[in-house]
């Protein structure tokens, strides 16, 4: 259906296979995005409604540990490890170079491991 809907974009001077492959790739990306947005629980899975105390305590403990790091290390660890930013995006958000972000993550994680041990 997508090929039929996009038939007006086909240029006969360009390869047909590449045009079809591009449409298929975009449809696949759309499918992956939809699946990640609308993930539903299976009927046999139960939603946890109790027992949030340990998670809340863990969040407080992590905040306290991160607070003991240098601010630059704490900031990039929060962005990359907790919020899922890429190294490049964290670099842009903090003003640190990509290399410095990597160094601060490495040193901060090493210091956190030492604190926990």
Q: Where residue 15 falls among pLDDT bands split at 50, 70, 90? A: confident
Averaged pLDDT score across all residues of the chain = 83
Q: Which domains does the chain have, with CATH numbers?
A: 70-116 (1.10.10.10)
> What average pLDDT does range 103-108 have in this prediction?
95
- Would you say residue 99 has pLDDT above 60? yes
Q: At what angle do helices 98-116 and 53-67 cross, to 10 degrees?
A: 120
Q: Where residue 47 falls among pLDDT bands split at 50, 70, 90? A: low
- Write out pLDDT tens, residues 20-30: 888 888 888 88
d(CA 104, CA 63): 17
């Amino acid at each position: 259906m997508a090929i039929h809907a996009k038939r007006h974009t086909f240029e006969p001077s360009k390869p047909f296979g590449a045009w079809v492959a591009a449409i298929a790739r975009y449809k696949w990306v759309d499918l992956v995005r939809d699946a990640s947005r609308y993930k539903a629980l299976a009927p046999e899975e139960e939603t946890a409604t109790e027992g949030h105390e340990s998670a809340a305590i863990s969040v407080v403990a992590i905040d306290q540990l991160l607070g003991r790091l240098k601010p630059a290390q704490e900031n990039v660890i929060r962005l990359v490890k907790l919020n899922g930013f890429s190294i490049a995006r964290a670099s842009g958000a903090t003003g640190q170079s990509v290399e410095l972000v990597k160094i601060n993550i490495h040193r901060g994680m090493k210091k956190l491991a030492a604190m926990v041990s």
